[in-house]
Amino acid sequence: MRHLRATNSPNFLAIALLRWYDANQTAFYKVGMNPSGLAFDGANMWVVNYSSNNVMKLAASDGTVLGTFDVGTNP
C-alpha cells in the first residue's frame, strides 16, 4: 500500500470541486436593427444585425461598443 504525505507539491490525485455561481443576471445592450446572430469569444460578444447590414463587437462585461463593421446586405 502506498502512503501519501503532505507536501507543498500539487496533488494530482485530488478531485477538482466545481463551484456554481448565480447565473440569473440579465443585461440589455443596444445593438442594430433586427439582430439575428450572436457569438462569444471569451471576452467579447459579436452581434449580427440583419437589417443594419453590420456586425457589432461589444465588451461582454458592460456592453461597450468596441466596433461596428459593415458586412454587406442582410448578413
Whole-prediction pTM value? 0.65
C-alpha–C-alpha distance, residues 44 and 36, integer Å: 17
> Is residue 60 a part of any domain in this protein?
yes
Amino acid at 46: W
Q: Is residue 29 part of a domain?
A: no
- Among 38, 46, 41, 36, smallest CA distance to 67 is for 46
Between CA 36 and CA 32, with CA 63 as vertex, the angle to 5 degrees is 35
Domain count across the chain: 1
Residue 7 cell numbers, joined? 507536501
Give tens-digit pLDDT for 16-45. Answer: 666 666 666 778 889 999 999 999 999 999
User: Which structural domain range is residue 51 located in?
Assistant: 35-70
In a domain, 48, yes or no: yes
